[in-house]
Chain A
Amino acid sequence: MPLAVSCRELRKRYGDVIAVDGLSLDVHRGECFGLLGPNGAGKTTTIEILEGLLTPDTGDVEVLGLRWKTHERELRHRLGIQLQESQFTDKLTVEETLRLFRSFYAQGRSIDALLAMVELESKRRSWVVKLSGGQKQRLSIACALVGDPDLLFLDEPSTGLDPQSRRQLWSVLQTFRAGGGTIVLTTHYMDEAEVLCDRVAIVDHGRMIALDTPKALVSALAAPKMVVQEGTLEDVFMSLTGRHLRDE
C-alpha cells in the first residue's frame, strides 16, 4: 500500500523569504502526523503544497500514491481539507452549508450522520453568522469529512477554541482515525500534538529540525532539569526553537 503522503526536497520562496527550504517527509496510512512550529515556520505553506493548493518551486509530492498534476480530480474526491482562515457564507444555515459541500462529492456521509458526529444537530437551522467560534470550527471539520475522505488535512484546527471545544474536536478526530483514516495536521499546541499525533515533525525556518514520536522526542530532548518532574513536548519545542517570542 502506498504512503498517504510522501514529499521530497520541497522548496517554496516568496520574493526574499524562503518559506519552505528542502523539506522531505513521509506519512503512513492510518497515522496521525503533526507539523509543529512557531508562527512563520512554513507549516501552512507546506500543508498547502501537500493539499495541491500551492505549487512548490521545486520538489516532488505524492498523495495516496497519486500526483496533483495528473490526478487532481480523483485526489479532491478522496481528501478532506480544513483551512486556517476560511469563513463560510454568513446567511446560510449549517445544514445548507453541509448540503452544498455534500453535493460536490459522489460518495460520502449523510448530512444527519455528520451533524451527529460534530454535535451540531441543535444548530442545524441556524445561520453560520450566529455560531460560536467552536461551532464554526466544528462545521468546518464536518465540511472536511463530508466526502468520507481517506486523508484529512487540518491547518491549526483548534486555534481560538475553548478547552471544551478542543476536547470535542479531538474526540471527532479520534473517531475518524478509529475508522482507518489518516490525518496530517499543523498546530502550535504541544498538548494537542501529544494527545493526537503518532509522530510529529518540528519545523522552523522552512526546515525540519526533529521528527519522532512525541514520547521519544520528550525523553531525548527535554531539558535535563525536567528529569525529576517529567518533561513535556512543550519543553522540547522550546529548547529546539528558542524561547523568544515571534511575530507572524
Chain B
Amino acid sequence: MTSNDTRGGAHHPLIELTLARLREFVREPEALFWSFLFPIVMTIAMAIAFPSRASQAVRVGVPSGAASDGLRKTLAADVGIALRDVPEGDELRELREGTVHVIVHPGDPPTYRFDPSRDESRVARLVVDNALKRAAGRADPWSAREDAVAIAGSRYVDWLIPGILGLGIMNNGMWSIGFMTVQARLRKLLKRLVASPMRKREFLMAPVLARLLFLTPEVAVPLLFGWLAFGMPIRGSVMSIAGVALIGALTFGAIGLLVGSRVRTFEAISGLMNLMSVPMWVLSGVFFSASNFPAVVQPVIQALPLTAFVDALRAVVLEGSTLTAVRGELMILATWMVLSFAIALRIFKWR
C-alpha cells in the first residue's frame, strides 16, 4: 500500500498550498469579479467627478432683472465665461453648490461676491475682473505671447489611474489573505494543518504567492483601460512596472497576514483591516496629492507603504522611471514586507 515515490504524485507542499489558495479564490466568483472591476468603476467615477479643467469656462452669475443688462452683455461676449441669472434669494446656495463660482452685482464699481477659499472662485474672479476692465477701456502695457503645450500624463485622470491601481492591489492583498486566514482558523483547519508535518513558513508564503498569479490581470486591466479610454500614456517598460507591482503585492500580502495573524472573528478582522487601510486611502496621495498635508506629518506619510507604492507606480508608468530611480520607495516597501512577514510568522495563532 505504501507508495515509494516521494509525495505520492503530489507536488512540493509549497506548490500544493499555493494551488489550494488559487482554487479557493477562483471558485469564489464574486471575489474575482470585484477584484478586477473595482479599479475600473473607481476610475470612471473619479474621471466623471473631476474632469480635466483646462478648457472649461468659469461659471459666473448675475442678479436676475434689467439692472444687470449691461453686465450681462459685456460678460457674455467673453468666451471663457459661462453666464447665468441668479434669483435674489438663491445666491448663497448657488455659490455653495458650485453652480456659479462668482456673482457680479452691477454698480460703479461692481461688487464681486465669492468665497476666496475656493480655487475655482478665485480664478473666476480674475477672469471677470479682466473682462470688465478691458470693456471699460483699460489699456494693457503689453500682451504676453502664450506658448501653450498639452502634456499627456499631466491630467488628473492620468495621475489618478496609477493611484487606484495601487489602492486595488493593497485592498485585494490585505482583504483576501486576511479573510481566508481567519476562516481557516475558525474552522480549525489551521489546527489540523499544524498537526501534520507541514512547514508553517510554507503555509504562510502560499497565499502571498497565489496573489502573484493574479497580479498580471490586476495590473494590466486598469492600465489598458486608462490607455484606451483616456489616452493615458504608459511610458515605463513592462519590466519596471511589473517589478514595482510585484514588490507592492508581496508587501501588502505580508501585511494582510500580519493583520490576520491572531484574529478569530470576521468582525474583528474587518475592523483591523479598516484601521490599517483607511488612513492610507486618505494620507497616501491616491486621490489628491499627499503634499497637501502639513510638513510635520510628511515623514509619517512618506513611510506608509501605500505612499511609497503609489509614488513608485506613478514614476514608472507616467514618467518612465527605471527601477533604480524608484529604489527609495522599493526599499520602504521591502522593509514593510520583511518585517510584516517575520512578525506574522512569530505571533501567528494556529489554534
Chain A residues with CB under 8 Å of chain B are 51-53, 73, 76-77, 79, 81, 83, 85-89, 91-92, 96, 99-111, 113, 127, 143, 147-148, 179
Q: Is B11 part of the binding interface, using a Cβ–Cβ cutoff of 8 Å?
A: yes
Closest to A145 in B: B1
Question: Within the assembled complex, what's the spacing in Å between the Cα atoms of A11 and B197?
Answer: 26
Q: Are B8 and A110 in contact (CB under 8 A)?
A: yes
Q: Which of B131-139, B168-176, B183-191, B269-277 is the interface stretch?
A: B183-191
Q: Are B16 and A83 in contact (CB under 8 A)?
A: no
Q: Is B343 part of the binding interface, using a Cβ–Cβ cutoff of 8 Å?
A: no
A-B pairs with the 5 shortest C-beta distances?
A103-B10, A86-B192, A76-B197, A103-B16, A91-B27
Q: Is B9 part of the binding interface, using a Cβ–Cβ cutoff of 8 Å?
A: yes
Q: Are B191 and A83 in contact (CB under 8 A)?
A: yes
Q: Which of B17-25, B47-55, B292-300 is the interface stretch?
A: B17-25
Interface residues of B in 123-145 (CB under 8 A from A): none
Closest to B6 in A: A106
Q: Is B201 part of the binding interface, using a Cβ–Cβ cutoff of 8 Å?
A: no
Please tell me the size bucket of the interface on B: 20 to 34
Chain B residues with CB under 8 Å of chain A are 1-4, 6-13, 15-17, 19-20, 23-24, 27-28, 184, 187-189, 191-192, 194-198, 351
Q: Are A102 and B10 in contact (CB under 8 A)?
A: yes
Question: Within the assembled complex, what's the spacing in Å between the Cα atoms of A83 and B351?
Answer: 12
- Chain B residues positioned under 8 Å from A99 (CB to CB): 9-10, 16
Q: A92-B24, A104-B197 are in contact. Are A113 and B3 (CB under 8 A)?
A: yes
Question: Within the assembled complex, what's the spacing in Å between the Cα atoms of A83 and B17?
Answer: 20
Q: Are A86 and B10 in contact (CB under 8 A)?
A: no
Q: Are A85 and B188 in contact (CB under 8 A)?
A: yes
- Chain B residues positioned under 8 Å from A53 (CB to CB): 191, 194-195, 351
Q: Are B17 and A89 in contact (CB under 8 A)?
A: no
Closest to B192 in A: A86
Question: Within the assembled complex, what's the spacing in Å between the Cα atoms of A107 and B1?
Answer: 11
Our count of residue pairs bridging A and B at CB distance below 8 angstroms stands at 100
- Of B188, B189, B194, B196, most buried by chain A (CB within 10 Å of CB) is B196
Question: Within the assembled complex, what's the spacing in Å between the Cα atoms of A163 and B105?
Answer: 92
- Chain B residues positioned under 8 Å from A83 (CB to CB): 188, 191-192, 195
Closest to B198 in A: A104
- Chain A residues positioned under 8 Å from B12 (CB to CB): 103
Question: Within the assembled complex, what's the spacing in Å between the Cα atoms of A96 and B24?
Answer: 11
Q: Are A148 and B24 in contact (CB under 8 A)?
A: no
Q: Are B8 and A111 in contact (CB under 8 A)?
A: yes
- Chain B residues positioned under 8 Å from A89 (CB to CB): 20, 24, 184, 189
Question: Within the assembled complex, what's the spacing in Å between the Cα atoms of A83 and B197?
Answer: 15
Question: Within the assembled complex, what's the spacing in Å between the Cα atoms of A91 and B30?
Answer: 14
Q: Are B1 and A86 in contact (CB under 8 A)?
A: no
Q: Are A104 and B196 in contact (CB under 8 A)?
A: yes
Closest to A109 in B: B1
From A79, A110, A179, contact of B3 by CB (8 A)? A110
If A87-B189, A127-B27 are given as contacts, then 14 extra A-B residue pairs at C-beta distance below 8 Å, sorted by A number, are A53-B195, A73-B197, A81-B195, A88-B189, A89-B24, A91-B23, A96-B23, A103-B7, A103-B13, A104-B13, A107-B4, A108-B3, A111-B8, A179-B1
Q: Give me 19 A-to-B residue pairs in the complex whose CB atoms sit less than 8 angstroms apart, sorted by A's number.
A: A53-B351, A76-B195, A86-B188, A86-B189, A88-B189, A96-B23, A102-B9, A102-B10, A103-B7, A103-B11, A103-B15, A103-B16, A104-B198, A105-B7, A105-B197, A107-B2, A147-B197, A148-B2, A179-B1
- Of A73, A83, A86, most buried by chain B (CB within 10 Å of CB) is A86
Question: Within the assembled complex, what's the spacing in Å between the Cα atoms of A148 and B28?
Answer: 33
- Of A79, A85, A99, most buried by chain B (CB within 10 Å of CB) is A99
- Chain A residues positioned under 8 Å from B24 (CB to CB): 89, 91-92
Q: Are B16 and A100 in contact (CB under 8 A)?
A: yes
- Chain A residues positioned under 8 Å from B6 (CB to CB): 106
Question: Within the assembled complex, what's the spacing in Å between the Cα atoms of A29 and B332?
Answer: 56
Q: A53-B191, A73-B197, A77-B197 are in contact. Are A110 and B20 (CB under 8 A)?
A: no
Closest to A117 in B: B1
